[in-house]
Amino acid sequence: MVVDDTAENLKLLDGILEGGHHEVRLFSSGAMMLRAAEKDPPDLVLLDILMPEMDGYEVCRRMRAEEALHDVPVLFLSALSDVKSKVRAFEAGGVDYVTKPFQMEEVTARVKTHLLLRRTIRELDEHRRDLERIVREKVRELSDSQLGTITALSKLAESRDDESGYHVERTQAFCRILCEHLIRSSRHRDGMTEDFVRNVCGASVLHDVGKVAIPDKILMKPGRLTPHEYEAVKNHAHIGAQTLEAARRQDPRNAFLSVGAAIARSHHERWNGGGYPDGLKGERIPLSARIMAVSDVYDALRSRRPYKQAMPHDEVAGMIRAGAGTDFDPAVVAAFLDAEGEFEMTYEEYSRRTGPGSTTRRERIF
């Protein structure tokens, strides 16, 4: 785009530039050029300085203030030859300055140089974006691979007391549903960042990883546990958290491990302080663990046990509703009640995968 209030200069520049096989658009005022450029940004602007209404300095400053135009190079063409005028042009955002009367060869060479620079910068930007995309994909692949390994190890721990094989997947799905609904609520919206949700859903598979340290004779006991055995099982929360915290010390900035340790340690805490292992109360319980608590209890109550049948969805939903403010964070319960249809559908979907009669036989809420 060429801007000059003198028709003869526009005609001359049009002839020079079209001879170089450039697409040229001519404007007699800066305001006209700005309106056109906002709709269709040019690759280069040749700009006069001394013009009525809006001088070249102001035109350039306005270009730099517009997102679509701030990086379009501006080549000033002016009869002003003093150093002060040239410095003002560069301060306004110009990249070059040619004094009138100009030589055709000089204008042609400088236009060619700046268009080449513009093209090179665009190619570098495109290359940078491609590299960023590749890095993101590789990081995602690595994360998926690591998460797959973690899930496999978690399912190994789970397999000792869950014959259905889907407790990890179900509770992970429930955590995701709760997070999606909590994002819409005013209570926890600020804390529900994309990273937080990703880490909660990923680390949820680690909630019972401490069970690997519980003896088989206790964990796989078909009947009710004695008080002593129950205390031994409760220790899995402490063991799981210790294991993950030890791993986190090797990588202190790993948010995934931090969330995993919080979930493993605190998903049996209760809103009224009656849980374990630390007797935390209210919002002192990590939000990730409060989300996990509802997900874990729903799945455990829906599953069949040696000493009772699986409970239907409506009964379980009623128990969770009744537990708001005592066992569970009321805001998380509200999210559950908003999404209880999704919980029921998700549980039933996994039940169909296991086949009739093959739901969990040994799973307990511990």
Model confidence band, residue 245 (pLDDT cutoffs 50, 70, 90): confident
Question: 355: which 2 tokens?
Answer: 């086949």
Res 259: pLDDT: 92
Q: What gap in Å lies between CA 116 and CA 321, rounded to an integer?
A: 67
Res 356: pLDDT: 44
Res 194: pLDDT: 87
Q: What gap in Å lies between CA 98 and CA 146, rounded to an integer?
A: 59
Return the C-alpha torsion angle 173, 222, 270, 172, nearest 10.
-10
> Is 207:234 a contact under the CB 8 Å cutoff?
no
How does 80-100 read in b/e, with b if 16+ C-beta sit within 10 Å?
beeeebbebbeebbbbbbbee
> Is 197:179 a contact under the CB 8 Å cutoff?
yes
Greater pLDDT, 164 or 65: 65
Question: 310: which 2 tokens?
Answer: 């699986």
Residue 321: pLDDT over 90: yes
Calculate ∠ Cα 61-62-67, nearest 5°. 110
The overall average pLDDT reported for the chain is 86
- Average of per-residue pLDDT across 257-281: 95
Multiple choice CATH, 2-127, 3.40.50.360, 3.40.50.2300, 3.40.50.1820, 1.10.150.530: 3.40.50.2300
Lowest mean pLDDT among 65-74, 218-227, 291-300, 348-357: 348-357
Q: What is the distance between the terminal CA atoms of the chain, rounded to a whole angstrom?
A: 72
- Average of per-residue pLDDT across 135-148: 59
Q: Measured between alpha carbons, how far is residue 60 from residues 72, 75, 90, 91 in Å?
A: 10, 10, 10, 10
Three-state secondary structure string covering 183-213: HCCCCCHHHCCHHHHHHHHHHHHHCCHHHHH
Domain-wise residue ranges, the chain: 2-127, 159-354
Multiple choice CATH, 159-354, 1.10.3210.10, 3.30.465.10, 1.10.10.10, 1.20.1250.20: 1.10.3210.10
Q: What gap in Å lies between CA 233 and CA 211, rounded to an integer?
A: 8
With CA atoms as reference, report the closest residue to 178 among 343, 65, 43.
Answer: 343
Res 148: pLDDT: 54
Residue 201: pLDDT over 70: yes
Res 255: pLDDT: 85
Res 358: pLDDT: 43
- Return the sign of the alpha-carbon dihedral for residues 230, 231, 232, 235: positive
In the 8-state DSSP scheme, what is residue 27?
E
Res 192: pLDDT: 83
Res 251: pLDDT: 78
Q: What gap in Å lies between CA 129 and CA 313, rounded to an integer?
A: 48
With CA atoms as reference, report the closest residue to 174 among 138, 201, 207, 147.
Answer: 201
Q: What gap in Å lies between CA 86 and CA 46, rounded to an integer?
A: 15
